[in-house]
Structure 1
């Protein structure tokens, strides 16, 4: 059996940006999260509330995950979730999420939210296979799925897949093209996040 890759998780840095921006040559990623530019980097480096995390394997950037607090919901909201498009279909999405949850800074965080656009069924499947629950369906006023996840039990289990579901079973639940490596969540509603930087994204 091939051993699981060792992942390094740290805050996103300017040195990560050239590689991260190059991912946006991929049409699917760019459609959901693009365009990627220097304004995004400036915001991330200056942001004192939200967090941008870089996940690396063998010194290579494999995933980028953004989080921002939502005090009204007592939760942390995923603002973006991107996996290197060249690694699509290899399980890096769930590995990156598990590695992030295992970080000391996140171990006490119990509640998370995500808002997934109606036209991104792969992202919806990604979260549901990991045990996220639907809170609200898209509507004319708000075209996003609202999802929630609460940490239960030890981090080792919470960071894995749905209870009593083997990894092989999970892999079979998604199309081969996406297999838990959904590039990213799409744009999020400013009304949910109350985050001024996301206003341009909400218009995409």
Structure 2
């Protein structure tokens, strides 16, 4: 079953589960997480637990500690799946966890096969735009007040499951 598997050396992604709320509610108190993701509260958590049009992935390091959270919305046509949210452990920002989290999330084998990935970035969020550009994503124009960035896939996913 996708999202199940043995722990491997390095980072892995898995579906969010109910017991993740114990650490996630601490992350949600961080002002940057609150500003960039909006209210990460019990209502949001219940919504992502029941999501069937995508997945909220917890990215763990090789020791099983959460390092990131990445939301993915699946395009039923398979054209372009969306990264809907991305955050890292607020206590360990600027340590490369965003790169590691995004890589593990995109490589998670439980996604339906897309042709590309997209994300929408607030035009005032220059660090996010720089982050995606550094990961090979390209600007695709504006959508309302959001910058659309895209990453075409060159190969299928690896299996970065926990």
Equivalent position to 1:67, from 53, 60, 72? 72
Rounded to whole Å, the distance in 2 between the matches of 1:128 and 1:88 is: 18
Listed one character per residue, the Cα deviations across residues 126-169 of structure 1 (whole Å, up to 9, x for unaligned) are 1111111111136xxx111011111125768xxxxxxxxxxxxx
Deviation, 1:44, is 0.9
Give the number of the structure whose residues are more often strand, by fraction: 2
Per the alignment, residue 3 of structure 2 pairs with: none
Deviation, 1:18, is 2.0
Per the alignment, residue 30 of structure 2 pairs with: 26
Deviation, 1:104, is 2.1
- Look up the SS of the partner of 2:87 in the other structure: strand
Matches within 5 A, 1:1-204: 6-57=10-61, 58-71=63-76, 74-106=79-111, 108-137=113-142, 142-153=144-155
Task: Note the residue ranges of structure 1 that are not aligned, 5 or more in a row.
Answer: 157-204
TM-score, scaled to structure 1:
0.66
Contact 1:67-1:77 at 8 Å conserved across structures: yes
> How many residues get paired?
149
Deviation, 1:56, is 0.9
- Look up the SS of the partner of 2:94 in the other structure: coil
Rounded to whole Å, the distance in 2 between the matches of 1:30 and 1:77 is: 20
Mark the structure with the bigger radius of gyration. 1
TM-score, scaled to structure 2:
0.82
Contact 1:107-1:155 at 8 Å conserved across structures: no
Deviation, 1:25, is 2.2
- Look up the SS of the partner of 1:105 in the other structure: coil
Contact 2:66-2:89 at 8 Å conserved across structures: yes
